[in-house]
A and B are shown apart, each in its own frame.
Chain A
Amino acid sequence: MTTVHDGEPGAVSTTASRPRGAHPLLIFLAKRVAITAGLLLGVTVVTFGLVNVVPGDPVTANLSDQALNDPAAVAAFREKWGLDQPLWAQYLHYLGNLLHGDLGHSQQTGRAVLDDLLHYVPATLELAIPSMVLALLIGTGIGMLAAVRNGRLTDQLVRIGALLGLSTPPFWLSLVVLYVFFYQLGLAPSGGRLSTDFSPPPTVTGMYTVDAALAGQWDVAWDAAQHLSLPVLVLTSLTVAMLVRFVRSAMLEVLQQDYIRAAYAKGLPTRVVLRRHLLRAGLVPVVTVSGLAFASLLSGTVLVESIFGWPGVGQYAYRSATALDLPAILGVSLFVALVYTLVNLTVDLLYGLIDPRIRLS
């Protein structure tokens, strides 16, 4: 059970009775783990159901036209993938494997879905982490600037810019960025994670820039960083546009609080007011939005990944969905649900760090 303290959004407090001596944080985490397990189970039920009710048959999506005319080939495919079993039996079989950590194999490629996810997630992380860090720094800065300049030209420009950013389709921005920085200026590579003359570094984290640096392959690391630049630029721009509006409105709200006026009234310098009071209080709602933005980046930015040829979760999800590859679709759905859950948990825990008034009780 969670309640909100002091009117702050998202504040966490556990009020249910608990065993004597158990730390509230542990109880809180245990509950969240239980909720997560239930949530993931629900995701499997819903996804399994949805994939099986949408028009389209995995057999027709995966076999050639000629093979479809051959009953033996169709029967072999159905038997191999258990599609000849009743739906409930297929689901129970999937669930049984899931409990053993087996996400099944992709009907398209025959590869283990877990291996695929472990392969594609680092590529997405390599895009998402720098995009998020840059977006947070830039978005917070610009949002605060707009708030303190409320109603003036700077504020108007920031608001227009943010609106334009939010209205910009990611694929269009990707193409524009490619056209300008790759085609016209020749400053960045067009796509992929590495130039074709390089081989990927030995896998440690799966992130090429990190792995190449760890292996001392600085030329590979530099090349990988160059390949990151354009997709990161696009994702950063889009995330900044989203953050700026939230930061601005959150900061404006704080700026109207009595304690800010009091701080100015007692003669505190502006920089101190901004850092000690405005930034800290205004960040609470921003953290929530940032969490969602980061989860969104991690769960796949399909079009951006597609245009930049980036082999991440988004592309994997897209390919799986278009081929009605049930095990892969379920695997991606579970991953996305897990990401959102973990991000929400992190956000809840961060509240306490940002605002001391929010505490687990």
Chain B
Amino acid sequence: MSVSPRRLLAGASALATLAVLSVSACSAGGSGGNANGAAKTLTVNTSFVLKTLDPGRVYEATGLTAVHALYDTLLTFKGSDVSKPAPALAESYEASPDAKTFTFKLRQGVTFADGSPLTADDVVFSLNRLKNIKASPAVTVSGLTVTKTDDSTVVVASNTPDPNIPVVLSMPSTAVLNSKAAKEHGATDGADAAQGDTAQQYLDTNSLGSGPYVLKSYDPSSQVVLEANPKYWGTKPQFSRVVLRNMDVQTQKLTMQRAESAEISLDISGKLLDGLPGSLQTSGVQDTVYFLFLNADPAVSKVTSNPKFNQALRAAIDYQGIAALYGKGAAPGAGLVAPAFPGTLPAGEESKRDVAKAKALLAEAGLTNPTVKFTYPAITYKGVDLGTVATKVQGDAAEAGIKLELNPQPLTTFLDEMRGGKSPLGFTPQSLNYPVADSLINNMAPGQATALRSGWTVERADPAVVAAGKKVTETLDLAGRAAAMQEWQRLMNQSSPYLVLASNSSIVVATSDLTGADYNAAGWQVDIAAVGRK
């Protein structure tokens, strides 16, 4: 049909031009956009893992970062050092020789953001509430009793000797709330707090702390805005406003490549660090360990429960090659304790590949071309696609005559399967919930809850491993504990169902004008209030 379409063409072109112009008219350039107040705002880009800002319930990375800036704890860690707690609300503390009783002397003159004084009652209330709510972080204080002896003295007692209590009381979940205000909004520290406490919704949108910042706004999908607390008792933060912004990790990288000032990114690590401009600064420590777990229960798998197969798989894997998949900041794994924490094994003690040995061990085990289902979460974690690592493990194992059938799963399905103890062989990353490595013994030593998910009972374990674990928990001085922890890991590497592949770093990427943007492995990633300008 010979119809002239000029008018149509003109209309369509005009609309297309309009659409393009709607983009090109924009002039924001950097992510910070408008210059209004740019000098006062610190932008922290992170892929949100955020459920709540209630200190009694907070457990996820983004929440911990914010809560650390909103609330004070009795003790804290400075910079990147997580080996020694520093004074915060408590200006000093004393430990009893049996490591069961810790007496904290509170700093004088501390007020909450509303101006009311912080007292020992607030500390007792907050810690009891944390314990009795029974949410995710409650386990860290479950065996503790908290009392006050006067308005500025708090005593924390443990049922069993525990030299790590000061570390536990440095964690954001032990934050001290304004108890009077909290009670007015539904908080309770009673034994029935798990059902009776109704303060979460209030605490998600209002902070009741004495920290350097107060909560301005909260949106778990978009952004959390903090503003400087004018009544803060300590050194005032340099940025009057901080915006924690939810951003996909790829977008974070693009954003940081263009960022000019006062911007931080928390999720660029591994291979994603490649290609970043040299003008950006990075800070990180290896705080994550990636390991395989083999089921030691013959009812689940006759293959993986065979100790010789366990050793054969250890010998089959190319640890250097796997570490290379993680990119900068990674290393072949030595023990279950990541290098960020006291008690890690020194470099050089990592497992070594020996394919001939692996084949010999398989022959000794009487296994010919064994086939095992290999389950892992189909996710990218800290810049690393776990599927890529699993495929490398599969290839390494194949060279020794072991066939691994890859079984990627959605995260929730994987967790369910892992916790149900049904996986013959699995793969997972692990970070510590707080910087005390011997918490691993409470979970991963033979007969403990996590170990039992891999069918590793005390009866199936080498008695030497059990004894080494016991020695760690019985050692009361921290240096001695760290040494005992190393010995435990060496024995674990010989016979445990855990096979450490690599350790990887978490990284803070910051623009060059910032100071104090140090990665901290205690959970809050970066101390926002310590970030300043050069």
Task: Scan residues 209-246 of chain A and give those whose CB is less than 8 A from a CB of chain B.
Answer: 219, 223, 225-227, 229-230, 232-233, 236
Q: Which of B34, B195, B248 contacts A195 (CB 8 A)?
A: B34
Residue contact B412 to A322, C-beta cutoff 8 Å: yes
Given contacts A66-B139, A309-B246, contact A236 B52 (CB under 8 A): no
Residue contact A229 to B23, C-beta cutoff 8 Å: yes
Question: A48 contacts the other chain (Cβ, under 8 Å)?
Answer: no
Residue contact B139 to A191, C-beta cutoff 8 Å: no
Q: Return A155 CB to nearest CB of chain B, in Å.
A: 10
| Complex: A20 Cα to B351 Cα, angstroms | 87
Q: Hey, which chain B residues are within 8 Å of A65, CB to CB? A: 433, 443, 450
Stretch at the interface among A36-44, A143-151, A352-360: A143-151
Residue contact B221 to A315, C-beta cutoff 8 Å: yes
Interface residues as binary, B218-239 with A (CB distance below 8 Å gives 1, 0 otherwise): 0111110100000000000000
Residue contact B15 to A324, C-beta cutoff 8 Å: no
| Complex: A195 Cα to B248 Cα, angstroms | 16
Q: Return A146 CB to nearest CB of chain B, in Å.
A: 9
Q: Return B71 CB to nearest CB of chain A, in Å.
A: 18
Question: A351 contacts the other chain (Cβ, under 8 Å)?
Answer: no
Task: Scan residues 50-68 of chain A and give those whose CB is less than 8 A from a CB of chain B.
Answer: 54-57, 60-61, 63-68
Task: Scan residues 3-42 of chain B and give those whose CB is less than 8 A from a CB of chain A.
Answer: 3-5, 7-9, 11-12, 15-16, 18-19, 22-38, 41
Question: B497 contacts the other chain (Cβ, under 8 Å)?
Answer: no
Stretch at the interface among B108-116, B254-262, B389-397, B398-406: B254-262
Given contacts A56-B410, A64-B59, A309-B245, contact A197 B52 (CB under 8 A): no
Residue contact B250 to A307, C-beta cutoff 8 Å: yes
Q: Return A320 CB to nearest CB of chain B, in Å.
A: 11
Question: A10 contacts the other chain (Cβ, under 8 Å)?
Answer: no
Question: A90 contacts the other chain (Cβ, under 8 Å)?
Answer: no
Q: Which of A142, A190, A307, A319 contacts B221 (CB 8 A)?
A: A319
Q: Hey, which chain B residues are within 8 Å of A255, CB to CB? A: 1
Question: B360 contacts the other chain (Cβ, under 8 Å)?
Answer: no
Q: Hey, which chain A residues are within 8 Å of B92, CB to CB? A: none
Stretch at the interface among B129-137, B331-339, B454-462, B473-481: B129-137
Q: Which of B217, B251, B410, B415 contacts A308 (CB 8 A)?
A: B251
Interface residues as binary, A90-113 with B (CB distance below 8 Å gives 1, 0 otherwise): 000000000000000000111100
Q: Hey, which chain B residues are within 8 Å of A134, CB to CB? A: 15, 18-19
Question: A333 contacts the other chain (Cβ, under 8 Å)?
Answer: no
Residue contact B248 to A189, C-beta cutoff 8 Å: no
Stretch at the interface among A27-35, A71-79, A280-288: A71-79
Q: Hey, which chain B residues are within 8 Å of A141, CB to CB? A: 8, 11-12, 15
Q: Which of B1, B22, B135, B222 contacts A229 (CB 8 A)?
A: B22
Question: B201 contacts the other chain (Cβ, under 8 Å)?
Answer: yes
Q: Which of A80, A178, A187, A191 contacts B24 (CB 8 A)?
A: A187
Given contacts A229-B23, A309-B247, contact A145 B5 (CB under 8 A): yes
Q: Hey, which chain B residues are within 8 Å of A148, CB to CB? A: 1, 3, 5, 8
Residue contact A192 to B201, C-beta cutoff 8 Å: no
Q: Return A185 CB to nearest CB of chain B, in Å.
A: 8
| Complex: A324 Cα to B416 Cα, angstroms | 12
Residue on A nearest B40 in the bound complex, by CB: A197
Residue contact B221 to A120, C-beta cutoff 8 Å: yes
Q: Hey, which chain A residues are within 8 Å of B18, CB to CB? A: 134
Task: Scan residues 39-58 of chain B and give those whose CB is less than 8 A from a CB of chain A.
Answer: 41, 43, 51-52
Question: A186 contacts the other chain (Cβ, under 8 Å)?
Answer: yes
Residue contact B33 to A66, C-beta cutoff 8 Å: no
Interface residues as binary, B199-228 with A (CB distance below 8 Å gives 1, 0 otherwise): 011001000000000001101111101000
Q: Return B304 CB to nearest CB of chain A, in Å.
A: 21
| Complex: A183 Cα to B254 Cα, angstroms | 6
Question: A298 contacts the other chain (Cβ, under 8 Å)?
Answer: no
Q: Return B227 CB to nearest CB of chain A, in Å.
A: 10
Residue contact B139 to A144, C-beta cutoff 8 Å: no
Q: Return B426 CB to nearest CB of chain A, in Å.
A: 14
Question: A179 contacts the other chain (Cβ, under 8 Å)?
Answer: yes
Question: A270 contacts the other chain (Cβ, under 8 Å)?
Answer: yes
Question: A182 contacts the other chain (Cβ, under 8 Å)?
Answer: yes
Interface residues as binary, A241-284 with B (CB distance below 8 Å gives 1, 0 otherwise): 00000000000000100000000000000110110000000000
Q: Hey, which chain A residues are within 8 Å of B134, CB to CB? A: 67, 70, 72-73, 76-77
Residue contact A137 to B31, C-beta cutoff 8 Å: no
Q: Return B98 CB to nearest CB of chain A, in Å.
A: 25
Q: Which of A110, A150, A190, A319 contacts B200 (CB 8 A)?
A: A110
Residue on A nearest B253 in the bound complex, by CB: A183
**Please, how many residues of chain A have a CB less than 8 angstroms from a CB on the other chain?**
85
Residue contact A189 to B31, C-beta cutoff 8 Å: yes
Residue contact B12 to A196, C-beta cutoff 8 Å: no
Q: Hey, which chain A residues are within 8 Å of B419, CB to CB? A: 60, 68
| Complex: A212 Cα to B170 Cα, angstroms | 42
Q: Which of B219, B225, B246, B411 contacts A322 (CB 8 A)?
A: B411
Q: Which of B254, B417, B449, B450 contacts A55 (CB 8 A)?
A: B417
Given contacts A108-B51, A199-B217, A309-B222, contact A61 B415 (CB under 8 A): yes
Residue contact A324 to B412, C-beta cutoff 8 Å: yes
Q: Which of B1, B23, B59, B142 contacts A150 (CB 8 A)?
A: B1
Residue contact B219 to A191, C-beta cutoff 8 Å: no
Question: A188 contacts the other chain (Cβ, under 8 Å)?
Answer: yes
Residue on B nearest A58 in the bound complex, by CB: B412
Given contacts A175-B250, A188-B26, A233-B19, contact A197 B41 (CB under 8 A): yes
Q: Hey, which chain A residues are within 8 Å of B280, CB to CB? A: none
Q: Hey, which chain A residues are within 8 Å of B251, CB to CB? A: 178, 190-191, 307-309
Question: A306 contacts the other chain (Cβ, under 8 Å)?
Answer: yes
Residue on A nearest B220 in the bound complex, by CB: A109
Q: Hey, which chain B residues are within 8 Å of A145, CB to CB? A: 5, 8-9, 12
Residue contact A183 to B34, C-beta cutoff 8 Å: no
Question: B243 contacts the other chain (Cβ, under 8 Å)?
Answer: yes
Given contacts A67-B136, A70-B142, A233-B19, contact A223 B217 (CB under 8 A): no
Residue on A nearest B136 in the bound complex, by CB: A64
Given contacts A192-B223, A319-B221, contact A60 B3 (CB under 8 A): no
Q: Hey, which chain B residues are within 8 Å of A230, CB to CB? A: 23
Interface centre among B12, B43, B217 (most CB of A within 10 A): B12
Question: B138 contacts the other chain (Cβ, under 8 Å)?
Answer: yes
* 4 interchain residue pairs of minimum CB distance: A195-B33, A141-B12, A311-B222, A311-B221
Supply 23 A–B pairs (Cβ within 8 Å), ascending by A. A66-B140, A73-B139, A77-B134, A110-B200, A137-B15, A141-B11, A145-B8, A179-B254, A182-B258, A188-B28, A189-B33, A190-B251, A191-B245, A195-B34, A197-B37, A197-B41, A199-B217, A226-B28, A236-B19, A274-B3, A307-B248, A319-B221, A323-B412
- B residues contacting A by CB (< 8 A) are 1, 3-5, 7-9, 11-12, 15-16, 18-19, 22-38, 41, 43, 51-52, 59, 134-140, 142, 194-195, 200-201, 204, 216-217, 219-223, 225, 243, 245-248, 250-251, 254-255, 257-258, 410-413, 415-417, 419, 433, 439, 443, 449-450
* 6 further contact pairs, Cβ within 8 A, besides A73-B139, A187-B23, A197-B36: A55-B417, A138-B15, A181-B24, A183-B257, A273-B3, A274-B8
